[in-house]
Amino acid sequence: MKNLLRLPPLSSTRPTNLTVFPVISTFFATSATAVTEPEPPVDKEDFPSSPIIQEKDLLRKSFKFQSGLHVLDLIDAGSLEPTAAIYTQLLKKCTQLKRLNEGRLVHAHFLTSRFKDDLFFHNSIINLYSKCGSLEDARNAFDEMRVKDMVTWTALITGYSQNDRPKEALTLFPRMLRLGLKPNGFTFASLLKACGAATPGDESCEQIHAACIKYGCQSDVYVGSSLLDMYARHGKMDEACLVFDRLDSKNEVSWNALIAGYARKENGEIALKQFWEMQRSGFEATHFTYSSVFSACASIGALEQGKWVHAHMIKSGQKLTAFVGNTLLDMYAKSGSIKDARKVFERLDKRDIVSWNSMLTGCAQHGHGKETVCLFEEMRRLGVQPNHITFLCVLTACSHGGLVSEGRHYFELMKKYKLEPEVEHFVTIVDLLGRAGLLDQALEFINDMPIQPTAAVWGALLGACRMHKNAELGKFAAERVFELDPHDAGPHVLLYNIYASAGRWDDAAKVRRMMKESGVKKEPACSWVEIENLVHMFVANDDSHPQIKEIHRMWEKIDGKIKEAGYVPDTNHVLLYVDDQEREAKLQYHSEKVALAFALLNMPPGATIRIMKNIRMCGDCHSAIKHVSKVMGREIVVRDTNRFHHFSGGSCSCGDYW
DNA sequence: ATAGGGTTAG
């Protein structure tokens, strides 16, 4: 869909694939404001004895001291003349304060009053239950109403939409249309949110978009930002952009939805560009903006730009809330500056579970195993309840830090917190045992798992076999992975490397052939480095960079120096090249080496070089960069998919254990 | 009486 405004109006061209809204095109004649449904076949006598009434006195007691109920007492005592508006006001208060039980009581009291058919009140009731998260109550209230208007339907749609039940929200829409009720901007804002949250297949972005146009709601700002957000959540950034460009009036929310869309799509650079564009257009960044932008910076490791945005936030006088603080912390951690991450963590007034988890993750990824464990113990001392992610962080830290007994201990500790280990936790334990060389124990652990092992579980064992050069077990693990997930290139490469380093080139070639036959493709390796607010990206064996000749000359120079210092190229890490000389040639142009040479050419002497990589670092690059850090006297930080490597003085923070 | 945008792991 290139042009959004050219969507056909549904009344003239009836789409053939109307699944979600089969009757959308037949309802434009009537513009009913409220619809009375036929009386339900329920014995009226049932109503006064409904559970709500029976609970009344009980609830009353527990809320006696509460303010709103005092008003009900006054009504009961005859000293206050009730009006429908009084009840609605009371209910509004309960909704704001999320006092479900108090609201129930007002509801019950209201039903005994002479206003019991007031539509506004009943609509508010649906809103009360929805906002309190009690969708079943909202639905019951809705079902019991005989007179419903558009607001009634919208309130319930909103309830489902806000409580993460998009499917139900979407199915209500055609039913509403069928009754001749005309949706408005409120209705569409909620519907679009639901549509954005629906799984592909359940939703119908284009149809609901067409309906917005049909009912003249497309120029509403709320509808507009929901619309662009909906497209963004389905990964359709081109459409989202088009919607954004065509908005009659933009506001912070529309900008935020756009930026968040790019940030989620791992398109950090565009998200950042849009952020500065937003400033230029005169819009104030909000908490939403900053958290999206910081997570965008985190994903591409843009430390310098992240610092700029941080400064921008401080200048604008924004308070550091947990929500923004967490993304800021994560940005610093993921951009390689664990010290700054820690500073943000210390400075947070209120730390929630995400703050703790982010800090733990940061520590773990930087290889500070013991520190992670200490932090976790501090968290426990303070009585913060850990969750599944917390344990995943801690177990990962133990695994990366070689803390085997600690890892086992914390795995057992999950039970104490009434947390059932999920498959990810099992993966981490296999990784923990495997890394430590306890391959038999790892296998035994897998065999004893109470749940079905997934490809990731066997993959962890395979990785360990690669590390400890165990070809037989590696082959076995790889076969299990191939059965469960035949399309992942990673395990193929691992097995290839296992055979290659054992000198079993025939077997290696077989793996290679297998990959070719099944069409499994290795993700192209790339590295990037941020210099003066610009992110430079390098793909292996790609010559397109304008400075490429200088870069290669630089690497050759470095290569000579580190070889003098004892670096021996490890050609086992190259896939598919036959003769050794060629293998070494290819090895020189691994993207992290190119990025490093580029950074050495362009960064001031002494500055720390920070390189990001989209896959795990290879052993040869790891060894080469260790030598570079010594020979050139540089601090070099490399972030790969798993963790950080801080190179300095010829060694790495991972202790060659990664 | 009813509405839209943000975080942590693997």
Q: Element (H or E) spanning A456, and its range?
A: helix A455-467
Specify the pLDDT at position A580. Answer: 46
How do residues A68-102 score in pLDDT, each as one tens digit? 778 888 888 888 888 888 898 899 999 999 999 99
What pLDDT does A147 receive?
A: 96
Q: What is the dihedral of CA A597, A601, A606, A608, to 10 degrees?
A: -50
pLDDT at A37: 66
Predicted local distance difference test score (pLDDT) of residue A535: 82
Nearest to A605 by CA among A635, A625, A645, A630: A635
The answer to whether domain A427-522 has CATH 3.30.70.360 is no
pLDDT at A270 over 70: yes
* CA separation for the pair A442, A427 (Å, rounded): 10
Placement of tokens 């940005």 in the chain? A331
Q: What is the spatial distance, in angstroms and rounded to an integer, between the CA atom of A575 and the C1' atom of B4?
A: 49
- In chain A, which residues from 242 to 271 place their CB closer than 7 Å to nucleic acid strand B? 251-254, 256-257, 260, 263-264
Q: A459: which residues sit within 8 A by CB, 6+ positions away?
A: A427, A477, A481, A488, A490, A491
The predicted-structure confidence for A418-456, as pLDDT tens digits, reads as follows 999 999 999 999 999 999 999 999 999 999 999 999 999
* Burial category of A28 from C-beta neighbours within 10 Å (exposed 0-12, middle 13-18, buried 19 and up): middle
- What is the nearest nucleotide to A327, using C1' and CA? B7
Answer whether residue A272 shows pLDDT above 70: yes
Q: Residue A49 CA to nucleotide B3 C1', Å?
A: 36
pLDDT tens column, A100-155: 999 999 999 999 999 999 999 999 999 999 999 999 999 999 999 999 999 999 99
Q: Looking at the predicted structure, is the pLDDT value of residue A490 above 60?
A: yes
Residue A528, phi then psi, degrees to nearest 5: -140, 160
State residue A26's pLDDT score: 26
Q: Where are the domains of chain A?
A: 427-522, 527-652
Distance A443 CA to B5 C1' (A): 46
Q: Which residue is nearest to nucleotide B9 (CA to C1')?
A: A389
Gap from A38 CA to B7 C1', in Å? 48
- The reply to whether the CB atom of residue A335 sits less than 7 A from any atom in nucleic acid chain B is no
* Residue A190: closest CA among A153, A232, A242: A153
